[in-house]
Amino acid sequence: MKRLEETHMLLNNKVALITGGGRGIGREIAVIFARNGADIVICDLNTADIDETNRQVEAHQRKALAITCDISCLCEVEQAIKKALDKFKKIDILINNAGITKDNLLLRMTESDWDKVIAVNLKGVFNCTKVISRLMLKQKSGKIVNISSIIGIRGNAGQANYAASKAGIIGFTKSIARELASRGINVNAIAPGFIETGMTAKLSDEIRERMLKEIPLAKFGTTADVAKLALFLASEESNYITGQVIQIDGGMAM
């Protein structure tokens, strides 16, 4: 991948919309995409963080547009995409990355913990994909990458809501890949394992050590590891891949 990146810009003059791009994995994807020639639209709840992503994108001489948006609300998503189109006229790539956790064992999990996680992680993906796929269908091209999780494949005690949302993303990815394939649109999912970000920083040392023991490559992943895979799936290098779930987890869930 490094040689590919060195030889040519993989996303020259493409426009990518990244949800939850204010920090963590989403920010890393924004920056690596900008380095590869893409202009970037960030949709995130958190304005302070988005500005920093913008600065990093613009450092690569690409345009950045930050939009404050709650992806769980369809009307906010529609307004955000209208703003993106006013500025860039098209969206070539959608990265459905925003996600949250509200962990608890089933008996202690509240209805609100369940609803919120499903609303952001799963309905948010539906909202953004529904609106943007309409544009991609007209363009007869597009790349959609959904960030799932290995938890959606293997489950995890204390994360029934999160696991259900991430498993839901996998079923959604495969269905939409079938719906959109004939129009030149690729839809794939990435299932990361344990990646060092704000989301995982809050886990206790005990849980971190337990997880490390389960990873054959014996280290946690980085945001750059995930961003490089997203770059490949968003580029023409992956034109013959659709409906796939690619695990990036150091071998944890093989």
Burial of 56 (0-12, 13-18, 19+ CB in 10 A): middle
Q: Which amino acid is at 228?
A: K
Q: Is 253 in the site for ligand NAI (CB under 6 A)?
A: no
Q: Which residue matches tokens 């695990």? A: 247
Decide if 71 contacts 100 (C-beta within 8 A). no
- Report the residue number, 75 or 107, with the smaller CB distance to ligand NAI: 75
Span between the terminal Cα atoms of the chain, in Å: 23
Give the number of residues written for the chain.
254
Q: Is 126 in the site for ligand NAI (CB under 6 A)?
A: no
Q: How far is the CB of 134 from ligand NAI (least distance, A)?
A: 20
Q: How far is the CB of 158 from ligand NAI (least distance, A)?
A: 15
Q: Which amino acid is at 95?
A: I
Residue in 33, 88, 126, 162 annotated catalytic: 162
Rounded-to-integer distance, Cα 171 and Cα 159, Å: 18
Q: How far is the CB of 132 from ligand NAI (least distance, A)?
A: 15
Site for ligand NAI in 148-177 (CB under 6 A): 149
Q: Is 225 in the site for ligand NAI (CB under 6 A)?
A: no
Selected from 46, 47, 79, 175, the binder of ligand NAI by CB under 6 A is: 46
Q: Is 53 in the site for ligand NAI (CB under 6 A)?
A: no
Q: Is 199 in the site for ligand NAI (CB under 6 A)?
A: yes
- Is 162 a residue of the active site? yes
Rounded-to-integer distance, Cα 252 and Cα 254, Å: 6
Residues 6+ apart with CB under 8 A from 68: 44, 45, 47, 50
- For the annotated catalytic residues, the residue numbers are 162
Summarize as ranges the residues that interact with ligand NAI (CB under 6 A).
19-20, 22-26, 43-46, 49, 69-72, 97-100, 120, 124, 147, 149, 192, 194-195, 197-200
